[in-house]
Structure 1
Amino acid sequence: MPRPFAPRRFAGRAAAVLGLVVLSVLAGAPRPARAGPAGVEGATWRLEFDNDVFLEKDNQISSGWSIQHHTAAARRWADVGGGHGSLGRLGGAIPTLGGEGLLRRSGIAVGQIIQTPDDVSRRDLIRDDVPYAAALTLQATWYAYDDEEFRGFEVTAGVSGPPALGEEVQKATHHLLGDKDPKGWNNQIETEPLLNLNYMRKRKVWHGGRPEGWSADAAVDGNVGLGNLFTQASVALELRLGRNMPGGFVYVPDPIGLSMHYVALLEPPRPERAALYASLVLRGTAFARNLFLDGTLLRPGPGVDKRPLVGMLIAGLHYERRDWGLHLGIFLTTDDVDTGQAKASEGHERLGTIDLEWRF
Structure 2
Amino acid sequence: MTDWLLRVGALAAGFGGLATWAAPAGATPLQDPYGTWTLQGENDAVSTLKGTSDQNYTSGLRLNWTSGTDNQPAPIETINHAIMGRGVTRISLGVQQLIFTPHDTQTPLPQPHDRPYSSLLLGTVNLINDTDLSRTVFGIQFGVMGPAGLGRQLQNGFHGAIGDTKNQGWNHQLQNQPIFQVQMGRTWRLPLADVFGISMDMLPAASAAVGDYRIYGSVADTFRIGQGLNSDFGTPTIGPGVDGTDAYTLTRPVAWYAFGNVTGSAVGYDATLQGNTVRSNSPHVPVNWDVGEIHAGVAVMWHGMRLSYSQVWQTQQFRGQRSGLFNYGSLALSAKF
Normalized against structure 1, the TM-score is what? 0.79
Q: 1:54 aligns with which of 46, 53, 64?
A: 46
CA RMSD of aligned residues (A): 2.0
The corresponding residue for 1:135 is 120
- Structure-1 separation of matches of 2:318 and 2:325: 7
Runs of 4+ in 1 over 4 A off after TM superposition: none
The answer to whether the 8 A contact 2:206-2:218 is kept is yes
- Structure-1 separation of matches of 2:162 and 2:58: 14
The corresponding residue for 1:65 is 61
Point out where structure 2 has 5 or more consecutive residues left out of the alignment. 1-28
The corresponding residue for 1:185 is 170
The corresponding residue for 2:109 is 124
Alignment length (residue pairs): 303
SS in 1 for 2:174: coil
The answer to whether the 8 A contact 2:30-2:249 is kept is no
1:162 deviates by 0.7
The corresponding residue for 1:260 is 243
Percent of counterpart pairs with the same letter? 23
SS in 2 for 1:125: coil
SS in 2 for 1:335: coil
The corresponding residue for 2:326 is 349
1:38 deviates by 5.8
SS in 2 for 1:96: helix
The corresponding residue for 1:156 is 141
Matched, 1:45 2:45: no
Matched, 1:206 2:187: no
- Once the two structures are superposed, the pairs formed by residues 195-274 of structure 1 within 5 Å of their partners are 195-209=180-194, 213-255=197-239, 258-268=241-251, 270=252, 273-274=253-254
- Structure-2 separation of matches of 1:41 and 1:250: 20
Of the structure 1 ranges 41-50 and 229-238, higher mean CA displacement relative to structure 2 is found in: 41-50
SS in 1 for 2:189: strand
The corresponding residue for 1:107 is 92
- Structure-2 separation of matches of 1:287 and 1:92: 32
The corresponding residue for 2:10 is none
1:303 deviates by 1.2
The answer to whether the 8 A contact 1:143-1:153 is kept is yes
1:120 deviates by 1.1
1:41 deviates by 6.8
- Structure-1 separation of matches of 2:135 and 2:234: 11
Normalized against structure 2, the TM-score is what? 0.84
Q: 1:93 aligns with which of 76, 79, 94?
A: 79
The answer to whether the 8 A contact 2:31-2:69 is kept is no
Point out where structure 1 has 5 or more consecutive residues left out of the alignment. 1-36, 75-79
The corresponding residue for 2:265 is 285
SS in 2 for 1:173: helix
- Structure-1 separation of matches of 2:175 and 2:69: 40
The answer to whether the 8 A contact 1:156-1:194 is kept is yes
- Structure-2 separation of matches of 1:220 and 1:91: 26
Assess, with a 3 A threshold, how the Cα gap between structure 1 residues 38 and 335 changes in structure 2: closer, same or farther.
Answer: closer
The answer to whether the 8 A contact 2:228-2:250 is kept is no
